[in-house]
């Protein structure tokens, strides 16, 4: 079955938007990781240049471990939620169109 041009354009369009979101997330993955760990008080310790986030900490405990104490910001929790929503939406539309273009359809 031939797929009309409009479907192709829409598939490509949503594909580009979705890819863009993934690229954005992975370019800034360290930022997202930091946001995830700092919804609560955190002690950032660098072991062999790898950052390690310790939870259940106090400024004193963190200083003893020669780490950087970061005060928790609870609303950072919305960062992964927003990303998950945005990606499900654009990616969901894209995959639906994708299988149409490929020609796999449910039995009528």
Distance CA 56, CA 47 (A): 19
26 binds other proteins (CB under 8 A): yes
Measured CA angle at 60 (ends 62, 31), to 5 deg = 35
Residue 98 contacts residue 19 (beta carbons within 8 Å): no
Residue 36: count other Cβ atoms within 10 Å of its Cβ: 14
> Closest separation between CB of residue 76 and other proteins, Å?
8
Interface residue with other proteins among 10, 13, 15, 54 (CB under 8 A) is: 54
What's the Rg (C-alpha) of the chain?
Answer: 21
66 scored as a contact of other proteins (CB under 8 A): no
77 binds other proteins (CB under 8 A): yes
Binding-site ranges for other proteins (CB under 8 A)? 22, 25-26, 29, 32-33, 36-40, 42-43, 52-57, 61-62, 64-65, 74, 77, 79-81, 83-85, 87-89, 91-92, 95-96, 98-99, 104-107
């Amino acid at each position: 079955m031939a797929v009309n041009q409009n479907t192709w354009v829409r598939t490509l369009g949503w594909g580009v938007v979705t890819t863009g979101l993934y690229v954005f997330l992975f370019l800034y993955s360290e930022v997202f990781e930091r946001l995830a760990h700092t919804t609560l008080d955190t002690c950032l310790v660098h072991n062999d240049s790898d950052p390690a986030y310790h939870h259940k900490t106090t400024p004193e405990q963190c200083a003893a471990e020669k780490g950087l104490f970061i005060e928790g910001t609870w609303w950072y929790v919305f960062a992964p939620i927003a990303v998950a929503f945005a990606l499900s939406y654009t990616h969901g539309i894209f995959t639906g169109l994708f299988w149409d273009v490929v020609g796999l359809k449910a039995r009528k």
